[in-house]
Structures are given as C-alpha cells and as structure tokens.
Amino acid sequence: MSIYVPNFIEFCIIKHPMVFYSLFLSLYQIISKGCAPFNGKIKQWVEGQNAVWNVIESKAKQITKPLIWVHCASYGEFEQGLPIIEGLKKEYPSHQIWLTFFSPSGYLHRKDDSTVHFVSYMPLDGSKNAERFLNLIQPSLIVFVKYEFWYHYLATAKKMSIPTVLVSAIFRKDQLFFKWYGGFYKKMLQLFTYVLVQDENSKKWIVPIIGEDKIKLTGDTRFDRVLQTKNNIVTYDWIQKLNTGKIIIAGSTWDKDHELIAHVAPLMKDFNWIIVPHHVDTTSIEKCKSIFPSASTLTDLLVSKQNFNNPKIIIVDQIGLLRNLYQYAFISYVGGGFGKEGIHNVLEPAAFGHPVLWGPNFEKFPEASGLLKMGGGFTVHDTNSFLTTIQALTLHPEPYQLASENASKFIQQNAGATSKTLQWLVEKQILFP
C-alpha cells in the first residue's frame, strides 16, 4: 500500500504534534552528526553543541546583575536585533545581556562581541535543555528576533513567569501557523507574552490567534541598522587603486548571479565591478574566479603596488566588508533573486542613496516590494533586462537622480522601529531600570 507522504506528515502534525516535534529535534541532531564530516558549517554547529554546556556553565558564574536574554537565529537576525540590543543596554544599564545564536554564522562572527556581556550557542530545544538553561541564567526578559519559535523554551519561560517578546516579526499566509493543520504552531505563537510586528499585514494574520492586546506594530529595525552603518562609515583605501570609472557593487551573490554579471560586465566597459559572493570559502571563490578569469581577488589587490588604469573586476574574498562597500556604488545589485530562497538585504545599499537591482524571487521580502514601489529599486529577469536597466540609469541623469532620492527616502520614511520597541517596553513596564 502506498502512502502519500505530505498527507501522512500532516496527519502526524495534527494528531501527535509533540511527538512529531520531538522526533524532528532528534532527527535534526542525528542527521547533523552524520553530515558533519562532509559539511563545514554543520560540523561547526555540532562541535558548538557538544561544548555548549561547558561554555554556558562557565559564563553563568559571571552573571552579577539581572539578565536579558536575546536570541538570534543567525547573523542576519543579529543585524536586525543589534539596534534593539544597543537600546536595551542603554535603557537598562542595571542589566546584563546574554546573546545566543542557533547558527555558526552568527556565533562564530560575534562570540567576542563587546556589545553584550555573554555570547553562546542556544542549546537545541527540549524540555530538559530549556529548564537547565533558564535555571542557569535566570533571565528577567527573553527577546527573540524575527523568526524564532522554540516550543520548550517558550513553554518553560511561561511556566517560570519570564516574559517573552518576539521583535521585528513578520508573518505570511503560507506559514504553518495559518495552515488548517497548524494548531500546534498556533499554540507556540500563543506562548509569547507579546509579539511586535513589522507591518499591518503581519498583524492581520496573527490577531485571530493571539488577540490584538498582545500585538504591537513597531516596524522593521533593519532600517535603523542600515542608517547606523551609513552614519558611521568605514572607508577603504584600496578603492583608490581602481580607475575613475563608476562602480557597480554586486553583493551576496550566488552562481546564477555570477553568470548574469559575466554576460553584462563586458558590455559595460567603463565600469568597475566589485563582486562580493555570499560564501567566501576557498571553493566558492575559486568557482567565482572561473567565471571571471580576468578578475582579481581583493587579497591580490591589497598586495598589488600598482593602480589600475583600466576598469577592473574585483572578487571580495573576505567577510564583513559588504555593508560599507555599498557607499562606493553608482548602482548596486543584490544577489539571491535567481535562487529558491530569494534575495538578500536590499536595505544596506539603499541607505546610501543609489538605485538597487535584484532578481525576480523577492515576493517574500516586503522591503524589496516597498523599495520597488517607491521607485528606488528595480527587478531584473534576465541578461537583457539587467543590461537595459543599467544603461537606462547610466545614460539618463534625471531617472538616476530620482531613483537615488527615492531609495534614500524609502529608508528614512521607514526608520524608527527601535525607538518604538524600546518605548513600548518602558510603557509596559516589563523591566524596571
């Protein structure tokens, strides 16, 4: 007898949600350990989980003040949560802040971050892990950023009367909460003390589940974060080695983005191209170099003693530079739009007030739709539309200037989520300074 797998999974979710959830957590751990020898990122996560309790128990002994626990899934969520973390630190100087990550991309880059007092991985969800962790650190408030939903941590926090707040949250109708078989996930959402959402649409979707009193529309803190970057610019001297031609920055790019750029770059002969791949490991950089055989890596450029008279393609093989590199762009291109997961951060380049381009998969990203509607961003679908969009912005100063102004205006008009979030926390008296 054949089994229709999706219906079987839906049956499990409906009839035995806790069993299914526990099975998922167990399988996640088993599969991760099995894949660790073959995948560097998974190996880092497994090694981190193996050491997590030693790290936590050691750092917990250093807690000397009431504690706020902030959890971010990965580096992107950290960037979104950073303005709130900084605001909490300023608003509640009598508290310490413990920051956790689920992904190695966040933890390894921020494990020594001076913005907070303690950094660790979050132990994998489970009733025993949740109780052990919360009893060790005894937080006065728990803040989850954007997409984090861990049943046992939320249930244990509620049992211990610790307030939990989900900040900068965004919801779409295709998420599990809104499926006919999503009852367990609705219950998980109901465990939060409060949910602070980015937009009205998100609020509309969750009002029937948790009630309007537990929801506050505060906006997206990433707008505040990109303005912080713009107002605290880090400059790079090596840019001066390039010729005086205009620069196109292609950030967070994947293979399909590289193929697109490879067809267009030779036709835009007066432009310098700076390509910042999403992954900068050796294998990814070598693959990118194979698509751009005449390109130099940033490492090569830094050791070079000469300036370049002709336009150049530079492949950035270092991390942490992209958000500040966007300041030098005449036009920016954000990668990911030709892949299944969709585009990366369009707000970082828009903050510097120039046009931003991206691929067709952006429906899940309201900030891209907003920038497009405002006229500060443009979608490209293929080589031809990519080329013609760049040419239109290059050859005609008025449309370029208008698009640049619109990009900057879009960021300014949507800033302020951090102050709204902190003001709301003060008004609700969840914590006392």
Domain coordinates of the chain in residue numbers? Answer: 5-219+416-428, 233-414
Could you please state the CATH topology (level 3) that the domain comprising 233-414 is classified under: Rossmann fold (3.40.50)
Q: Are strands 139-145 and 164-169 parallel, antiparallel or unpaired?
A: parallel
| pTM of the model as a whole | 0.86
Give pLDDT < 50 ranges for the chain.
Answer: 1-6
State the pLDDT at residue 3: 36
137 Cβ neighbours under 8 A, 6+ residues apart = 56, 60, 63, 67, 69, 98
User: SS3 for 194?
Assistant: strand
State the pLDDT at residue 4: 39
Mean pLDDT of the chain: 91
Which tokens sit at 326?
């966007």
Q: Which parts of 177-281 fold into alpha helices (H)?
A: 183-190, 200-210, 222-231, 255-264
State the pLDDT at residue 13: 54
State the pLDDT at residue 181: 82
Q: Is 375 left (phi over 0), alpha (psi -120 to 50) or beta?
A: left
Domain range 5-219+416-428, CATH class: alpha beta
Helix (H) or strand (E) holding 330: none
